[in-house]
Amino acid sequence: MRVSIIGQAAFGEAVFKRLIDDGVEVTAVSAPQPAEGRRPDPLWAAASEQGIPTVDTRALKTDEGITRWRDAGADLCAMAFVTEILPDEVFGIPTKGTIQYHPSLLPLHRGSSAINWAVIFQRKETGLTIFWPDKGIDTGPILLQRRVPIGPDDTVGSLYFNALFTEGISAMREAIGMVADGVAPRIEQDHALATYEPPCRDEHGEIRWHEPADRLYALIRGCNPQPGAWTKVQDSRLRIFDCRLTGEQESGMPGRVLRVHDEGFDVRLNGSVLRIHRVQPEGSGKVSAAEWAQETGLKEGYRFR
């Protein structure tokens, strides 16, 4: 079966290489075309190295791009991490249609920040879905799903790279095989159970220190590595990344610094203590919390608000 791929970044590249290694005939690849002088997208670079025709993803919104996509003559298109909203005409070009990867158990968490919100909402599990895209956003019929547990200390990064990334590659390969064998289902989503959340941005990442410890911890984990949950220190934002709940109970107001030590610093929460290991001051890169505390002179008793 002849397959085309629309995707980008490490996941798109990994799916492409898996298909090539498995002997699948890839006829064309669509990925973000590199700007002059900039490093190319990994999927674009991998396809170019193999001599496979490439089409800029944004060009698929034009007549010229659609013509080039049709000329690829694919039987099936696999969408592996696509952020552009494409015309539904594109999905029907391959003779067997188009399938897409999404990192949630649809119809839950439709939208571009599915992993973030599953963590922020303190779900115990999430998963991935391979589905048939249609005119809606993540609303098409389901081909297959796989469940993935969310650990109590998982971040968006750990959940994606330790589970959803690798499971997604094998699920995409399995789905392509099912289409080739003529056994791929189209299971309609139960739209009454659907949730849709907006892209997780700075406006969602503000830390409110009075909130219950588990909810605050979930927010930080659900914004790690992007966009980074934040609090104000004087007039600038401090983003908090790697941290953990110690389970201790300390008296005092939430947001108060209890200790500064070699591992970072501890902050009293409403129901626990947060040990902070890695932060990012505004206008700077990520640094160890201990280094930041030393440079800024953070002392016991300081209170984040």
Residue 213 confidence (pLDDT) above 90: yes
Q: Give the chain's mean pLDDT.
A: 97
Predicted local confidence at residue 35, as pLDDT: 87
At 61-111, the pLDDT tens digits run 999 999 999 999 999 999 999 999 999 999 999 999 999 999 999 999 999
Predicted local confidence at residue 20, as pLDDT: 98
Predicted local confidence at residue 79, as pLDDT: 98
Predicted local confidence at residue 246, as pLDDT: 96
Confidence of residue 251 (pLDDT cuts 50, 70, 90): confident
Annotate the chain with DSSP letters as a single string. Answer: -EEEEEE-HHHHHHHHHHHHHTT-EEEEEEEPPPPTTSPPPHHHHHHHHTT--EEEGGGGGSHHHHHHHHHT--SEEEEES--S---HHHHTSSTT-EEEEESS-TTTTBSTTHHHHHHHTT-SEEEEEEE---SSSS-SPEEEEEEEE--TT--HHHHIIIIIHHHHHHHHHHHHHHHHTT----B---GGG--B-----GGG-B--TTSBHHHHHHHHHHTTTTT-EEEEETTEEEEE-SEEE------S-TTBEEEEETTEEEEE-BSSEEEE-EEEETTS--EEHHHHHHHHT--TT-B--
Confidence of residue 137 (pLDDT cuts 50, 70, 90): very high
At 215-239, the pLDDT tens digits run 999 999 999 999 999 999 999 999 9
Mean pLDDT of 134-140: 96
Provide the whole-model pTM: 0.96
For the chain, domains (ranges, CATH) are 2-193 (3.40.50.170), 202-296 (3.10.25.10)
Mean pLDDT of 162-188: 98
Confidence of residue 36 (pLDDT cuts 50, 70, 90): confident
Share of residues in the chain with pLDDT > 90 (%): 96
Predicted local confidence at residue 181, as pLDDT: 98
Predicted local confidence at residue 37, as pLDDT: 83
